[in-house]
Amino acid sequence: MSDPVIKGWCPGALRPMMSGDGLVVRVRPRGGRLTPEQAKGIADLSARFGNGLIDLSARANVQLRGVAEASHGPLIEGLSALGVIDETTEAESRRNITVTPYWQEDDGVQEVVRSLTEALSHPDAPATPGKFGYAVDCGAEPVLSETSADIRIERGPGGGLLVRADGAATGTEATPATAARLALRLAEWFLETGGAPEGRGRMAAHLARGATLPDAFTEIPALPRAAAAAPLPGLLPQGFLVGFEFGQMTAETVSVLAEIGPLRVTPWRMILIEGAAEAPRIPGLITDPADPMLRVTACTGAPGCPQALIATRPLAQALCPSLAPGTRLHVSGCAKGCAHPTPAPLVLVGRADGSVDLIRMGTAADTPSLTGLIPATLTANPALLTETEHAT
Ligand code: SF4
């Protein structure tokens, strides 16, 4: 198996990533929300300058695919006019904020997000590594405990706000007016205490290496957080939550959704259509909570990703109808496992010879139970996935 390439930085709009189908231009919606005008504008730009495909990321970003290098400049002008991108690559890299999509008008979530966004836009804001991020999860119920973040703003035991380092069991008390300042103080401490040697590093790993938090961040015990599965499509007080096959939308779909209402982008590769009272009847949407495609994950794979060793999505689509109820399948083009970094019951990973390895209850980088399976043989006989359960 070839070792995947680790970049250590996250692509943005101003610093896009080259992929097998052109540039991937990542947009971080402010406050985790696109107004109808912004969503329609992004759809139009995707159709004009990209290949008309828009991915949802695990950090609640939208990614325009298939952008030619010559089209990047005009695309950035268009995104800038929509007010969805930052002025510099530094500001874009720092503004890595995931927001609970379940916020309500008066719960203070957007107030915290606005002050954090403002604080991170200053040139002297902590120059944290590209993958370093913030989770604003202080709605009525926490929903981002499984979403990658380094600093978390959540509800504490008394119902007030708590600013907590990811990986720590304690935090410091905050208000909507002080949360951003305290979060940045924690980010400064992370950098000052050597959390990012050579410009890379994450908070939980820093703490695991023995870093001692400032006293203020050890005052209040955090509420226990049970690991939560991604929610299912359906009606919510804020609107209707819909999913997409492999978290990918067409520009046309986004355009139609924008006509219904503002779009809240979630870290579960789903969209919450604000104010929608029923499931939209639009092709390409997953609105049935029992749809087995909700239990299948596959990265871009070949030919879209230059590191991919197999075409992931056709294999995932072929195997989906045979999945046992409740079983999750992750098909990864290489051992990097971008689409699902945490363990899954069944993982298929591409190999350089075009075959796949099968890993049970693990990640794409774990030791396989079976190696060298031929995709065509698997799709012709999907029972092989479970029949060979005890083989090694
Ligand atoms: S996991 Fe998939 S998307 Fe990520 S680098 Fe490998 S092939 Fe590409």
- Residue 306 CA: which ligand 1 atom is closest? 8
Neighbours of 18 (CB within 10 A): 12
pLDDT tens profile 117-138 = 999 999 999 999 989 999 999 9
For the segment 292-317, what is each residue's pLDDT rounded down to a tens digit?
999 999 999 999 899 999 999 999 99
How far is the C-alpha of 325 from the C-alpha of 345, rounded, in Å? 12
| The ligand 1 atom nearest the CA atom of 309 | 7
pLDDT at 1 over 50: no
Q: Over pLDDT 90: what percentage of the chain?
A: 87
**Who lines ligand 1 at CB under 6 A?**
4, 299-301, 305, 307-308, 332-334, 336-338
298 residue type, one letter: A
Reported as a single tens digit per residue, the pLDDT across 232-273 is 999 999 999 999 999 999 999 999 999 999 999 999 999 999
Whether 114 contacts 150, CB under 8 Å: no
**How far away, in angstroms, is 57 Cα from ligand 1 center?**
13
Structural tokens at position 190: 């992370």
CA-CA distance, 38 to 21, in Å (whole number)? Answer: 24
Per-residue pLDDT band for 326 (boundaries 50, 70, 90) equals confident
Q: Please tell me the distance between residue 104's alpha carbon and the centre of ligand 1 in angstroms.
A: 36
- Cα of 228 from ligand 1 centre, angstroms: 25
- The helix/strand/coil state of 181 is helix
Rounded Cα distance between 347 and 241, Å, is 27
Read off the pLDDT of residues 338-364 as tens digits, 9 standing for 90 and up.
988 889 999 999 999 999 999 999 999
Report the nearest-CA residue for atom 5 of ligand 1. Answer: 307
Q: Is the pLDDT of residue 6 over 60?
A: no
Domain boundaries, the chain: 17-86+234-286, 91-221, 292-387
Q: In terms of Cα–Cα distance, which of 367, 271, 364, 386 is closest to 312?
A: 364
Closest-lying ligand 1 atom to the alpha carbon of residue 339: 1
* CATH of range 292-387; options 3.40.50.150, 3.30.230.10, 3.30.413.10, 1.20.1740.10: 3.30.413.10
C-alpha 243/C-alpha 50 separation (Å) is: 22
Q: Architecture of 91-221 per CATH?
A: 3-Layer(aba) Sandwich (3.40)
Of 336, 340, 349, the residue with max ligand 1 atoms within 8 A of its CB, to mutate for a pocket test, comes to: 336
Band of residue 10 on the pLDDT scale cut at 50, 70, 90: confident
Q: What fold does the segment set 17-86+234-286 form as a domain?
A: Sulfite Reductase Hemoprotein; domain 2 (3.90.480)
Residue 390 has a pLDDT of 42
pTM for this predicted structure? 0.92
Atom nearest to 336 CA in ligand 1: 1
Q: Label residue 189 left, alpha or beta by phi (over 0 means left) and psi (-120 to 50 means alpha).
A: alpha
State the pLDDT at residue 385: 85
Structure tokens at 245: 């096959």
Query: Distance, CA 4 to ligand 1 centroid (Å)?
Result: 8
Point out the ligand 1 atom lying closest to the alpha carbon of residue 305: 8
**Cβ atoms of residues 243 and 294 within 8 Å:** yes
Per the listing, tokens 């390895």 go with: 357
